Amino acid sequence: MDLYPAIDLRDGRAVRLYQGDYGRETVYNDDPVAQAVAFAEAGAAWIHVVDLDAARSGTPRNREIIAAIADAVSVPIQTGGGIRDEASADALFAVGVTRIVLGTAALEQPQLVRSLASRMSVAVGLDARGREVAVRGWEEGSGRDILDVAKEFADAGVEALIVTEIGRDGTLSGPDLVGLGDVLDATELPVIASGGVGSLDDLRALDGLRSGGRRLSGAIVGRALYEGAFTLGDALAASGYPS
């Protein structure tokens, strides 16, 4: 299981939101580039970067920082937030991003996902409250069921589905193992878990999750790392990485 330490960007800083609430923000680092370098030096195989400002508004606000992160580290960067047209996707790849994540656009413009996935590395972000997928920085409900949406992208050419339970995100309360198992059952696409990891036992549970003969391909971790619940090295070991 790949581990993705997360850097969520807002106003140029590395932050975390509690349950996706922009009014409940904690700033963890004023220098996101230095944070990315620290993650890379600690052994991260990927870094997950989200432009929270763009996710909310659709307007890129932190692209220069994302470019600086990609330039500062040699590990691949996966990034999402506000990517709602081909120009935005192309701009991110031009600055060194390895994989983009489409959330709102995937719900509202599924044809865009297919078009981009035909020529670049794309993941679909499925951010849900319960079973309803949310859009526009998690501030609006789509009225769509996460399992139905997951199935729709089976043949779209995407590399992964990133599944976030919004009610657990930033809470350290543990991942939604049942919900993740349901998504594994619903699709053959690789599934990356996000939201709720608060302990090494949570990571071990994710690494050990099996449903329909399948397992998770990755997990995204944020607040637990920033608050010192465990080190990235220990997290990598708990996620099945060789020592």
Of 2, 53, 127, 176, which one is the catalytic site residue? 127
The torsion angles phi and psi of 88, rounded to 5 degrees, stand at -65, -40
8 is catalytic: yes
Angle between helices 86-94 and 110-117 (to 10 degrees): 40
Classified as helix, coil or strand, 211 is: strand
The torsion angles phi and psi of 186, rounded to 5 degrees, stand at -85, -15
Taking residue 30's Cβ as centre, other Cβ atoms within 10 Å add up to 11
Sequence-ordered list of residues with C-beta below 8 angstroms from that of 210, at least 6 positions apart, any chain: none
Taking residue 211's Cβ as centre, other Cβ atoms within 10 Å add up to 17
207 is catalytic: no
Unique residue bearing structure tokens 């009014």: 23
Contact at 8 Å (CB) between 232 and 44?
yes
Classified as helix, coil or strand, 218 is: strand
Contact at 8 Å (CB) between 212 and 223?
no
Of 8, 51, 53, 176, which one is the catalytic site residue? 8
Unique residue bearing structure tokens 């865009």: 112
The one-letter amino acid at 34: A
Residue whose C-alpha is closest to residue 149's, from 126, 179, 180: 126
Active site residue ranges: 8, 127
